[in-house]
Structure 1
Amino acid sequence: MSKIKLKLFFIALLVSHFLIGFKCHAQKVTQSQKEFLITDYGSKADGKTVNTTAIQKAIDAAFKNKGGVVVFPKGIFLSGSIILKSNVTLYFEEESVLLGSTNPKDYFNMAFEGRPVSLKNDDNSQMALILGHKANNISLKGKGKIDGQGLKLALNIDSLHHAGIAVDPKYSIRRNRPNETMRPKLLRFSQCDNVLIEGLKAGEASCWGLSFELCSNLTLDNLTIVNRSYWNNDGIDITDCRNVKVTNCDINAADDGICLKSYYPGYYNDSVYIANCTIKSSASAIKFGTASFGGFKNVTIKDIKVLDTFRSAIALESVDGAFIENIDVSNIQAVNTGNAIFIRLGQRSGDKPGSIKNVSIKNIKVQVPFGRPDSNYDLRGPEVDFFHNPFPSSIVGLEGYAVENVTLENIEINYPGRASKGMAYIPLNRLNQVPEAVKDYPEFSMFGELPAYGFYVRHVNGLSMKNIKLTLEDADFRPAFVFDDVQNLKMEAVDLPKEKQKQLVFNNVVTAVLEDQLLEQKLEIKSK
């Protein structure tokens, strides 16, 4: 054997030895995670037996073992509230189903001790099918399903209230439904670190779907979430969490698809990454708020598809004193969606308004229909109680508290037109007719009729608009843009329908840089 061949032989032998050693090490790592089969602890896969105690025994055994994998084999396992503990993985094999009990007595409101005081407890209950509190290194994996049976559960809760057996003191008479605190969520994790949920199908809760508060290092990947059984059916709720990744998820929700909330002053959402998701919603696709007491910073949202969504594709709202800053949104495709962009700084509560600044929204394409885009939902977002024409996108602060430094670039929005003065009309010389709505619930329809079809901008300091294209399916008597109390506006490469005249309306606009063709479109007015 030549020296070269001998050298190659020894190299191959060394590589082979390394790979065998690596394989053995990987097997040892896998084997070190002891499995705890729930059927070994008495669980029955008949879809009728309540397995809460048996499943909890398996989780407790894995926890006592200092970690392990609790396995749900093929079959339907009915359960009430179970508590996930540190270093435990719930693994759902293919065709396994964790089915939520429809008996309200099978759920409990967990006492999450050591939590900071929330300023909004009315819909912040700690009741869920799967609970976790200060549990670290936890995960839910596999190809199975978690089904909350939310409609049956919610109707049973409703019946118990009307029978006087379990009366809800906050029952909504106007909306004929139990308060959110009476209805279990699907998942509720609080103050947990290093959480992974991947590969599962989940949903059909009686309230929120996957809910996380004050958690860190949270990863949600490759999930299919269908949560449209009852009211308040958000897909994913993230409250005051740090280092969050939500990727490759398909979400269909009767309420907001992905909602970032902030309940705790002094705490805030930080370093959140949302990407490669598809969202359908009878509310908004991705929303910050409405609970907004702490803040939201360093959030990236990219590569999102939005379909058949009633309200906004992107909604950024601070109305309880929270700050919103360093937000980067890009590559959003929205079809059959009621509103493209909604940014609102208000003061529903708190001693003074919060702030919204440094927001970048780029590469957005949205198609807005004339009618309801969510008509196929059994439970649809409530209609507004006034006549109105189609709503524009809005960026609105408060007098003396401007939204700051917003960049809109490569934005294309197709509007339906068909606005009629007979339906609703605000003369341009009476822009003060648009209410400030300082304390109102934030929503793209909150100001009533608006005097623009494309963008309504009020109380903003620092707005850059580049490569903006607005198209109309039919005629609209309103101008494309209304700017009211705006400073430091820059517009370039704005493409508007050619047949319309004077499409930019300025009222109290200071320092505006416009291209020549836009100057021809400008109408300077003074509101009465």
Structure 2
Amino acid sequence: MTIDARRRRVVLALGAALPLAAMGAPCETAPAWADQLRRELDEMASHLTRTLQPWPVPPRVFVPESYGLAKDALATAAIQRAVDACASAGGGTVRLAGGDYVSGTIDLRSGVMLEIAAGSRLLASTNLADYPTRHARRSTVMDSNMGMHQSLIFAEGCERVGLCGKGTIDGRGTPDNFPGEETTGATPGRPFLIRMLDCRHVVIRDLRMRDSPCWMQNYLNCEDLIVDGIHVENQANHNNDGLDIDGCRRVIVRNTFINAEDDGLCFKGASQRNGEQILVENCEFYSSCNALKFGTDSQGDFRNVLVRHVVLGGPAATMRAAKRRKADGGISWESVDGGTVERILVHDVQIVRSESPLFLILSDRGRVRPGQSKPPAGRLRHIVYDRITGDDNGMRGSFFTAIPERPIENVLLRDVALTMAPAPGPAPDAAAVPDGRGLYPDPHMFAPVMPASGLWARNVRNLTLQRVRFTTTGQDARPALIAPAACRLG
């Protein structure tokens, strides 16, 4: 099914009003802040759509065949010479249109659009020696804590740069080619496919990408970033994220399909820069970890984000899956390293095959670069879920949790209908569920099942539910909803 067809299905499925989740004082209208947020983010999306356009690529075309490409030889040097010549001429397109090109690290330059044409493939070398280290000029948590210094395509400090085409970038990143353990830290020996740092006017469109040895792509502290029409299959190795956007401003992600072993679309704050003015629309994100996420690195702030007309969750039976077919989290917004996460609206979204369709956490892990002081806990506030539906989900349940001294603030669920699998046995003791201090903040770190089958909320201030329904496909001893006494129901 196409992305547009799935989007129409999502909208139609959410057309009818939904019954109440629980009895309570009626709440006929949404909080004023939520309606104001909707107006402001709609205007932001309109402004981004009008003004954030692909940069004009000069009509010059360069091909590696003109720069010493030898048949059946490693193409790295010839492609790099074409890139350098293109940049020196004032920019243009470097086109790979001659079939398969096997390459190690390529350094993109300002003004260069690298095109992999239809019927052609850029194949990552399987020799780790072909990926020399690229240490960032401005060190971030990604460098000091994660040790990620190798990639197939690298750009730093560039303006007007990108990749396009109807061809394929294949990382050939299977464990046979790039062995390594799954980790939340450094991943030596497993390069990224694409890494762009401190760049402006970045365009990634139309390509197919598959099988990175590690993360597929990472855009860190970039401005004016467009990701449009890409198809990502990253189910070949550990830590196979689909798309990581870290501390970027003015961003559009649209018409994109991702199936990832690790996080699908993951926003981060490890750059210690703010991520803001972000529009995500008409996409599909599937993951065995978190389908759509901010975190776990949340050192920078994340705000003014609109997500609409998206299908997300775990990979279906017809898709590749290196692990489980249930996503750990559907939509996961996490602040554990001092950042403020606020002003986020998600509407017209379908969540399928997820153990915890909705997950919010505010805690105080405080991961920073060596020598930096641990920051105080951040903020998580002004979060809206509007017209959310989903089925074939797991049994853990959605949950919102914060440390008592820093509650989550101002959350609205409106027109939400989620169906979960039933959990066997009695409801767990809520007091036994940890508050996340010091934990890696993924949903599975807390408990196999939550005290409520639909939504369990702890330390949340100003939580409003309107026309919300949580159901299970069989008998479940847990209540559907456990929320603070001040929760407004309607």
Query: Do both share a fold (TM > 0.5)?
Result: yes
Kept in 2: contact 1:340–1:368 (CA 8 A) = no
Q: Specify the alignment match of 1:286 in structure 2.
A: 292
- How many angstroms apart in 2 are the aligned matches of 1:254 and 1:469? 30
Check the 8 A contact 1:37/1:72 in 2, yes or no.
yes
Q: Which letter does structure 2 place at the counterpart of 1:67?
A: G
- Give 2:399's aligned residue: 394
Residue by residue over 1:120-147, the C-alpha shift from the partner in whole angstroms, topping out at 9 and shown as x without a partner, is 7332523110000011111211111111
1:157-176 correspondence runs (5 A): 157-158=178-179, 172=181
Are 2:183 and 2:239, in contact at CA under 8 Å, matched by a contact in 1? no
2:176 alignment partner, one of 145, 152, 155 = 155
Task: Provide the rounded CA distance (Å) in 2 between the counterparts of 1:125 and 1:178.
Answer: 9
Q: What's 1:244 paired with?
A: 251
**Offset, 1:418:** 4.1
Query: The residue matched to 1:63 in structure 2 has which SS?
Result: helix
Q: C-alpha offsets along residues 486-509 of structure 1, whole Å, 9 cap, x if unaligned?
A: 3642001xxxxxxxxxxxxxxxxx
8 A Cα contact 1:462 1:487, kept in partner? no
Aligned to 2:13: none
Amino acid at match of 1:364: I
Give the distance between the partners of 1:216 and 1:106, measured in 2 at CA.
29
Q: Residue 411 and residue 321 in structure 1: after superposition, are their counterparts in 2 closer, same or farther (change >3 A)?
A: same
User: Could you tell me how far apart the structure 2 residues matched to 1:98 and 1:434 are?
Assistant: 47
Residues 122, 181 of structure 1: 8 Å contact kept:
no
Which residue in 2 is equivalent to 1:216? 223
TM-score, scaled to structure 2: 0.81
Give per-residue Cα distances to partners, 1:175-227, cap 9 Å, x unaligned.
Answer: 59994143110100000000011111112110000110010000000001111
Counterparts of residues 159-198 of structure 1 (less than 5 Å): 172=181, 179-198=186-205
SS at match of 2:333: strand
2:136 aligns with one of 112, 127, 144 = 112
- 1:418-433 aligned at under 5 Å gives the runs 418-421=423-426, 425-427=427-429, 431-433=430-432
Correspondence for 1:60: 84
Q: Structure 2: how far apart are the matches of 1:177 and 1:329?
A: 27
Whole-Å Cα distance in 2 between the matches of residues 182 and 286 of structure 1?
27
Q: 1:342 matched to which residue of 2?
A: 359
Q: Check if 1:356 corresponds to 2:373.
A: no
* Structure 1: segments with no counterpart, 5+ residues: 1-28, 159-170, 371-389, 493-528
Pair 368,402 (structure 1): closer, same or farther in 2 beyond 3 Å: farther
Question: Residues 357-506 of structure 1: matches in 2 within 5 Å?
Answer: 357-370=381-394, 390-421=395-426, 425-427=427-429, 431-448=430-447, 449-483=449-483, 486=484, 488-492=486-490
Give 2:64's aligned residue. 38
Q: Distance in 2 between matches of 1:58 and 1:473?
A: 58
How far apart are the structure 2 equivalents of 1:434 and 1:200? 43
Match of 2:73 among 46, 49, 64: 49
Secondary structure, aligned partner of 1:435: coil
For 2:342 and 2:118, locate their aligned partners in 1 and report how far apart those are by CA, in whole Å: 42
Q: Residues of 1 paired with 2:405 and 2:183: CA distance?
A: 40
Aligned to 1:225: 232
Which residue number in structure 2 is paired with residue 123 of structure 1? Answer: 146
Aligned counterparts of 1:407 and 1:176: Cα–Cα separation in 2: 34
The higher radius of gyration belongs to 1
Q: Quote the Cα distance in structure 2 between the aligned partners of 1:112 and 1:221.
A: 26
Contact kept, 8 Å, 2:455 with 2:482, in 1: the verdict is yes
1:302 matched residue in structure 2: 308
Q: Does 1:332 align with 2:331?
A: no
**Residue pair 2:63, 2:79 contacting (<8 A) in 1 also:** no
Q: Distance in 1 between matches of 2:106 and 2:115?
A: 14
Q: Check whether the contact 2:276–2:303 (CA below 8 A) recurs between aligned residues.
A: yes
Partner SS for 2:79: helix
CA–CA distance in 2 between the matches of 1:94 and 1:288? 33
Match 2:267 to one of 242, 256, 260? 260
Q: Partners of 1:176 and 1:319 in 2: how far apart? A: 19
Shift of 1:155: 3.5
Partner of 1:293, secondary structure, is coil
Q: Is the 8 A contact 1:99 1:147 kept in 2?
A: yes
If the length of structure 1 is used for normalisation, what is the TM-score?
0.75
The 2-side partners of 1:434 and 1:148 are apart by 40
Letter in 2 for 1:240: G
Counterpart CA distance in 2 for 1:43 and 1:203 is: 24
Deviations, residues 215-250 of structure 1 (Å, cap 9, x unaligned): 000000000111111000000000011111100001
Report which stretch shifted further, 55-64 or 448-457.
448-457
SS in 2 for 1:50: coil
- Alpha-carbon shift at residue 43 of structure 1 (Å): 2.4
User: How many angstroms apart in 1 are the aligned matches of 2:142 and 2:227?
Assistant: 27
Report how far residue 450 of structure 1 moved: 2.4
Letter in 1 for 2:487: L
CA RMSD of aligned residues (A): 2.0
Give the SS at the match of 2:297.
strand
* Structure 1: distance between partners of 2:333 and 2:387: 17
Q: 1:367 is paired with a residue of what secondary structure?
A: strand
* CA distance, structure 2, for counterparts of residue 103 and residue 178 of structure 1: 23
Q: Secondary structure at the match of 2:403?
A: coil
Aligned to 1:166: none
- After superposing the two structures, state which structure 1 stretch, 432-441 or 193-202, moved more: 432-441
CA distance in 1, matches of 2:261, 2:220: 21
CA pair 82-272 structure 1, distance change in 2 beyond 3 A:
same
The 3 A distance-change label for structure 1 pair 131 and 177 is same
Q: 1:490 to 1:120 in 2, by over 3 A?
A: farther
User: Once the 2 structures are TM-superposed, how far is the Cα of residue 306 of structure 1 from its aligned partner?
Assistant: 1.7
Contact kept, 8 Å, 1:294 with 1:322, in 2: the verdict is yes
Aligned to 1:314: 331
> In the TM superposition, what is the alpha-carbon distance from 1:295 to its structure 2 partner?
1.4
Q: Note the alpha carbon deviations across 1:321-344, whole angstroms, 9 max, x for none.
A: 111010011111122222210000
Percent of aligned positions that are identical: 30
> Distance between the aligned counterparts of 1:50 and 1:196, measured in 2?
26
The offset of 1:262, in angstroms, is 0.6
- 1:146 is aligned, of 158, 163, 169, to 169
Judge conservation of contact 1:122–1:180 (CA < 8 Å) in 2.
Answer: no
CA–CA separation in structure 1 for the residues paired with 2:83 and 2:278: 30
Structure 2 CA distance for aligned equivalents of residues 183 and 315 of structure 1 = 26
> Which whole-Å CA distance do the structure 2 matches of 1:406 and 1:444 have between them?
19
Deviation at 1:156, TM superposition (A): 4.2
Report if aligned partners of 1:246, 1:274 keep a CA contact under 8 Å in 2: yes
